[in-house]
Amino acid sequence: MIKIGVLASGRGSNFQSIIDSIDSGAIDAKVACLITDNPAAYAIERAKLHNIPHVYINPAGSKDIFYKTIAGELIACGVELVVLAGFMRVVKKPLIEAFPMRIMNIHPALLPSFKGLHAQRQALEYGVKIAGCTVHFVDEGVDTGPIILQEAVPVLSDDTEESLSARILECEHRIYPRAIKLYIEGKLSVTGNTVRIED
């Protein structure tokens, strides 16, 4: 059983989907800690409900010190895989170097399209017919790391940012636990920017 560390800034619905997958036995893992940069994040309430240790780390000041502090907390908890669940910051070198190709993120677009904030709005403004979500490993870029899994979502003619976001979120809750499970089972290998999934 591997230990997962979760970073979240907000409501933590993907955090909940991971907790639920562990509780159901779908993922053989334990959430060792939740780290947040927002003392009002609802993700903290989810952690409390499931007796998961949680820590708030103030993001003010040096980014390097902030990410070194996060890395130190994760290492102290014995974390083997770091999962970003609505963590609204670009991860910097001190954390990436501590967990190379061991940090996952989920993004509400079919990367490499529509990186960064408001991906669903970007998709609607561009007029695409297919949107979706992507689980990827984290590198020093913004949503540029090797892609693990993707799922497509049709864009409907009457979609708003809210309605499209809600349908994409349902997919996120499916594919994020699946990607974590593949990692735990040792089925992911990274060559360059390509992730291979073994049968």
- Report helix, strand or coil for 79: coil
* Residue 107 annotated among the catalytic residues of the structure: yes
CA distance 113 to 68: 30
- Angstrom distances, CA of residue 15 to CA of 8, 11, 68, 71, 186: 8, 9, 22, 19, 22
- Report helix, strand or coil for 183: helix
CA 52 to chain centre: 18
Q: Which of 104, 61, 63 is nearest to 81 (CA)?
A: 104
CA distance 10 to 84: 11
- Angstrom distances, CA of residue 97 to CA of 38, 54, 68, 77, 103: 24, 23, 10, 17, 10
SS (H, E, C) 115-177: CCCCHHHHHHHHCCCEEEEEEEECCCCCCCCCEEEEEEEECCCCCCHHHHHHHHHHHHHHHHH
Catalytic annotation, pick one of 54, 107, 136, 173: 107
What are the residue numbers of the active site?
Answer: 107
